[in-house]
Amino acid sequence: MAKLYFYYAAMNAGKSTTLLQADFNYRERGQRTMLFTAAFDDRFRTGAITSRIGLERDANPIEPNTDLFATIAAAHAKEPVDCVLVDEAQWLSRVQAFQLAAVCDELGIPVLTYGLRSDFQAKLFEGSAALLAIADTLVELKAICACGRKATMNLRVDSAGHAVKEGAQIEVGGNERYIALCRRHYAEAMDLKHGAAMA
């Protein structure tokens, strides 16, 4: 049975690099893949999955109204698809996450999704919440805090490097906007004392 995988981590854990390596492995064996990423992620260029170590591959852009099941089913009908890989999966809608599950269940194609678990306020993204609930396999990729502990949190910073505590959940950015931290150092940066939580 084809499975839905969710590989999740904090920033800078190598999610895109891992995705591109998996894609290479499939293609090296003569298998066909379909790659997807968020249309509004234009840090490098729209419709591209790019890793910090310089790997890059074209991908199908996902818009809020993209029907992933229909898109993949149509491509699969023309030429069999062996694997679907989705970057920035945290920005999927709940409906799109279920469409990917249907790709596994109805089309028999494995789907590998990669994304953040939570945002800069320690809240789940819609896509991440859905994938954590329905994925067959959950895999945590490791990022490292400056202290050496496992980084699980994403701190958003301003241009001066100060913690940002409010704002839109989605703001595209890389190392200039986000720092991966362990929970302890995230709490210190956000001034969360004695178990206090943000609203």
Residues involved in catalysis: 88
89 by DSSP, 3-state: which? helix
Integer Cα distance of 96 and 25 in angstroms: 26
64 by DSSP, 3-state: which? coil
Strand partners, 58: 48
* Residue 191, Ramachandran bin (φ over 0: left; ψ between -120 and 50: alpha; else beta): left
| One-letter amino acid of 170 | I
- Whether the CB-CB separation of 13 and 180 falls below 8 Å is answered with yes
Cβ-based neighbour number of residue 75 at 10 Å: 15
